């Protein structure tokens, strides 16, 4: 069969990214332009600034991506773009740019869901083996998903309140760590010890998660200590939080692995970049002797390579969209 080259675009939040992915697996060219330093001044992503910066940068990102590869626009088989979920203004920049490329170069257009993109980051340099269990841990998701085949998503459980990434970011904020919080907690935790005794998240036997209690406990603890004039051992608190939160994720993964036959366990989403989580998830997959996959660091956080990987099964089924495609800030993808 002929090799398929997909040019993919991701602009759902504060990264303008493009990639050329061959056969949904091999990343031929990859560019990420992050706006992180700009948004760090404001302590979080400012939607208006994000969409304006995407507009300013997107042409440059395309030129860079094409320059880095030997593939010309004429040899691209399809254009893929993240259409949901995310910041509407940011998504729109990518969607309109993708439509323009599709029209000018007469290439079919593929719409990809951002979270499905995170899942398919595990298809890069890997063949997904079904049935598989996916743990999605990001700024907006904490989900346990069963996949029987490509694009079949059965939700086993989800967070009842905060997503794990959101929780990392809030805890980072109360510890006065700069945006983005997750990687900073990760770095700080490595220097600390789990000396704070934190409440365990809801100790039930469902596949659901709850992190708001843990988050509120830490926020109150820091405020109370500050009021008393006591100092916080930030490294130790970061370490205690990270272990408490991750252990709960591991416990639910273990429940799912015990009760569902799967051949592979994959982890996806921004929080999959976390060092402690990566080690612990690998350990649990070894205990249950299932194949394990977690993306390379550069494919854990938002990037277009994962969008190209997720677009490939849609390409094979000719699931193309027309120019009525619109960006959506929130869409579920579960069965």
- Contacting residues toward ligand KG4, per CB under 6 A: 114, 118, 138-140, 165, 168-169, 180-183, 186, 269-271, 273-274, 301-302
Stretch that binds Zn ion, among 119-127, 210-218, 296-304, 324-332 (CB under 5 A): 296-304
Among ligand KG4, Zn ion, none, residue 35 binds (CB under 5-8 Å by kind) = none
Question: Going by C-beta distance under 8 Å and a sequence separation of 6 or more, which residues neighbour residue 246?
Answer: 274, 276, 277, 280
Spatial distance between the Cα atoms of 200 and 80, rounded to a whole number of angstroms: 41
Among Zn ion, ligand KG4, none, residue 311 binds (CB under 5-8 Å by kind) = none
Instruction: Return the number of the residue (90 or 246) whose C-beta is nearest Zn ion.
Output: 90
3-state secondary structure string, 119-187? HHHHHCCCCCCCCEEEEEECCCCEEEEEECCCCCCEEEEEECCCCHHHHHHHHHHHCCCCCCHHHHHHH
Q: What's the min distance (Å) between Cβ of 325 and ligand KG4? A: 20
Q: What's the min distance (Å) between Cβ of 202 and ligand KG4? A: 21
Q: What's the min distance (Å) between Cβ of 196 and ligand KG4? A: 18
Among Zn ion, ligand KG4, none, residue 192 binds (CB under 5-8 Å by kind) = none
Interface of this chain with Zn ion, residues 209 to 268, rule: CB under 5 A: none
Whats the size of the chain, residue-wise?
335
Of 263, 264, 326, 293, the closest CA to residue 118 belongs to: 293
Q: What's the min distance (Å) between Cβ of 236 and ligand KG4? A: 17
Spatial distance between the Cα atoms of 166 and 137, rounded to a whole number of angstroms: 10
Spatial distance between the Cα atoms of 249 and 234, rounded to a whole number of angstroms: 23
b/e burial code for range 208-226 (CB count within 10 A of at least 16 → b): bbbbbebbeebeeebeeee
Q: What's the min distance (Å) between Cβ of 295 and Zn ion? A: 11
Of 219, 211, 172, 159, the closest CA to residue 44 belongs to: 172
Q: What's the min distance (Å) between Cβ of 335 and ligand KG4? A: 21
Q: Which residue is nearest to ligand KG4 (CB)?
A: 270
Instruction: Return the number of the residue (45 or 62) whose C-beta is nearest ligand KG4.
Output: 45
Q: Which residue is nearest to Zn ion (CB)?
A: 302
Ramachandran region, residue 138 (left: φ > 0; alpha: ψ -120 to 50; beta: rest): beta
Among Zn ion, ligand KG4, none, residue 28 binds (CB under 5-8 Å by kind) = none
Using alpha carbons only, how large is the chain's radius of gyration in Å?
Answer: 20
Among ligand KG4, Zn ion, none, residue 182 binds (CB under 5-8 Å by kind) = ligand KG4
Q: What's the min distance (Å) between Cβ of 100 and ligand KG4? A: 25
Stretch that binds Zn ion, among 14-22, 239-247, 297-305, 320-328 (CB under 5 A): 297-305
Q: What's the min distance (Å) between Cβ of 324 and Zn ion? A: 25
Instruction: Return the number of the residue (244 or 301) whose C-beta is nearest ligand KG4.
Output: 301
Among Zn ion, ligand KG4, none, residue 186 binds (CB under 5-8 Å by kind) = ligand KG4
Instruction: Return the number of the residue (82 or 244) whose C-beta is nearest Zn ion.
Output: 82
Spatial distance between the Cα atoms of 92 and 84, rounded to a whole number of angstroms: 10
Instruction: Return the number of the residue (24 or 183) whose C-beta is nearest ligand KG4.
Output: 183
302 part of the interface to Zn ion, by CB under 5 A: yes
Question: Going by C-beta distance under 8 Å and a sequence separation of 6 or more, which residues neighbour residue 52?
Answer: none
Ramachandran region, residue 86 (left: φ > 0; alpha: ψ -120 to 50; beta: rest): left
Ramachandran region, residue 161 (left: φ > 0; alpha: ψ -120 to 50; beta: rest): alpha
Instruction: Return the number of the residue (22 or 183) whose C-beta is nearest ligand KG4.
Output: 183
Q: What's the min distance (Å) between Cβ of 92 and Zn ion? A: 17
Binding site for Zn ion (CB under 5 A): 302
């Amino acid at each position: 069969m002929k090799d398929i080259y997909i040019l993919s675009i991701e602009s759902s939040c504060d990264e303008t990214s493009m990639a050329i992915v061959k056969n949904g697996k091999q990343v031929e060219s990859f560019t990420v332009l992050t706006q992180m330093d700009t948004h760090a001044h404001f302590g979080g992503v400012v939607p208006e600034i994000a969409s304006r910066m995407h507009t300013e940068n997107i042409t440059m990102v395309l030129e860079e991506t094409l320059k880095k590869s030997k593939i010309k626009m004429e040899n691209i088989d399809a254009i893929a773009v993240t259409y949901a979920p995310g910041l509407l203004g940011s998504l729109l920049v990518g969607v309109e740019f993708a439509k323009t490329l599709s029209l000018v170069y007469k290439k079919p257009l593929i719409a990809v869901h951002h979270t499905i993109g995170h899942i398919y980051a595990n298809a890069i340099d890997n063949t997904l083996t079904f049935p598989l269990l996916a743990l999605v841990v990001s700024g907006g998701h904490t989900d346990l998903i069963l996949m029987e085949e490509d694009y079949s998503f059965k939700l086993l459980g989800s967070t009842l309140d905060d997503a794990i990434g959101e929780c990392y970011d809030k805890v980072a904020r109360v510890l006065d760590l700069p945006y983005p919080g997750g990687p900073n907690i990760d770095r700080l935790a490595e220097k600390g010890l789990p000396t704070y005794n934190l409440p365990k998240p809801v100790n039930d036997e469902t596949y659901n998660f709850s992190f708001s209690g843990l988050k509120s406990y830490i926020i109150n603890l820091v405020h109370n200590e500050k009021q008393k004039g006591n100092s916080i051992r930030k490294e130790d608190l970061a370490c205690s939080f990270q272990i408490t939160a991750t252990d709960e994720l591991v416990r639910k993964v273990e429940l799912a692995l015990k009760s569902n036959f799967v051949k592979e366990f994959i982890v996806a989403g921004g929080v999959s970049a976390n060092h402690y989580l990566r080690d612990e998830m690998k350990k649990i997959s070894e205990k249950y002797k299932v194949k394990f996959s977690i993306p390379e660091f550069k494919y854990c956080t938002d990037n277009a390579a994962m969008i190209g990987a997720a677009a490939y099964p849609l390409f094979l089924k000719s699931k193309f969209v027309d120019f009525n495609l619109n960006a959506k800030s929130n869409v579920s993808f579960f069965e």
